[in-house]
Amino acid sequence: PYRVHINQDLFLQAYLHSSDPNLMLFLDTCVASPTPHNFTAATYDIIRNGCVRDPSYAPCYSPHSHILRFKFKAFQFIGHNPQVFLRCELVVCRDYDYSSRCYQGCINRTKREASS
């Protein structure tokens, strides 16, 4: 557990342990939940499919592409215990592979309309 106050900047870092220096990390999705075992109901998207959903989210400078840093403001779910659990999905790509998911950025998936 890591204790923070509401609206305090919360800094996170992911580090890729690899002997290959030509790999990079991309934060695809990061979701918060009031429970550690359910990330489908009563969740809050910080970032989804590379698209920022939380206005307090900001990437932070990292000197290496295999280290990913970001921050957002701490919050809690109303009507739940004060704990918040995070589940983040990262993608590993080759540095400078501009066709990889890491360089695609935000992918807005549009909903299909059901025809009559």
pLDDT in tens, 6-62: 999 999 999 999 989 899 999 999 999 998 888 888 899 999 999 999 999 999 999
pLDDT at 113: 58
pLDDT in tens, 71-92: 999 999 988 888 999 999 999 9
pTM for the full predicted model: 0.85
Residues 15 and 36: their CA atoms lie apart, in Å, by: 22
pLDDT at 40: 82
Residue at token pair 């998936």: 109
- The 3-state DSSP composition of the chain as helix, strand, coil percent (nearest 5) reads 5, 40, 60
- 2.60.40.4100, 3.40.50.2300, 2.30.40.10, 3.40.190.10: CATH of 8-95: 2.60.40.4100
Q: Spell out the domain ranges in the chain.
A: 8-95
pLDDT at 16: 94
> CA 40 → CA 45, 50, 75, distances in Å?
11, 18, 18
Q: What is the DSSP annotation of 39-93?
A: SSSS-EEEEETTEE-STT-EEE--SSTTEEEEEEE----TTS-S--EEEEEEEEE
Residue 111: band (very low, low, confident or very high) from pLDDT cuts 50, 70, 90: low
